[in-house]
Amino acid sequence: MTEWFAIIMGTCLFVLMIPVIYRICVGPTGFDRILAVNVIGTKTAVLLVIIGTLYDRVEMFVDFALTYALLNFVAAIIVSRYLNRTISLKEMEAREKAKKEAKAS
């Protein structure tokens, strides 16, 4: 029963991840993409525990899940720190465009 529960939970998680992956591909701003990557990273920790249940080695996979959650947190903090310390993305694009036009002329 435990195995069936794990399999059904895993499939449902994969199906529900599709809208989030759509947000990664299409997302109008960069922040949407980062947010969606963060959501998928959190859910991967759950998937690791599910895989551990299927292999009957949960005590091993829990460590992986904790490490994965840690790396996910570090990634989000790095991205937000970088965006905090630089000028806004729109302004950066505008400056690059101006540079290109100056080169072309």
Partner 1 sequence: MIESLSTLVLATTPDAGNEGFMLLKIVGIVSGILGLIFFLGSAVGMLRFPDFYTRMHAAGKGDTLSTMLMLGGFGFVTMDDFSLGSWLLLIKILGVVLFIYLTTPTSSHALMRAAFEDDEMPMTEEDLKKSKKRGKKKS
Partner 2 sequence: MKFFSLIPVIVIGGLLLWAGQDFPKWGDVESPASKSPVSSHFIANTGVDTEVPNMVTAVLADYRGFDTMFETVVVFIAGMAVIAILRGSSVGRPRRKDHEVEAEPDLIVTNTVRLIVPVLQIFAFYVLAHGHVSPGGGFQGGVVMGASFILIALSWDLEKAMSRFPIERCLFVAAMGIVLYGGIGLLSMMLGGEFLDYAELDKILPVSREMARYHAMLGVEIGVGFTVASIMFVLYANLASEGRLKQGL
Site for partner 2 contains 12 (CB under 8 A) = no
Choosing from 77, 97, 98, 99, the residue that interacts with partner 2 (CB under 8 A) is: 77
Which stretch of DSSP H or E encloses residue 87?
Answer: none
Regarding 71 and contact with partner 1 (CB under 8 A), the answer is: no
* C-alpha triplet 92, 94, 97: angle, nearest 5°: 110
Question: 3-state class of 56 per DSSP?
Answer: coil
Residues 9-68 contacting partner 1, CB under 8 A: 9, 12-13, 16-20, 22-23, 28-29, 31-32, 34-36, 38-39, 42-43, 45-46, 49-50, 53, 58-59, 62-63, 65-66
The answer to whether the CB of 41 falls within 8 A of the CB of 75 is yes
Could you tell me the smallest distance in angstroms from the CB atom of residue 79 to partner 1?
7
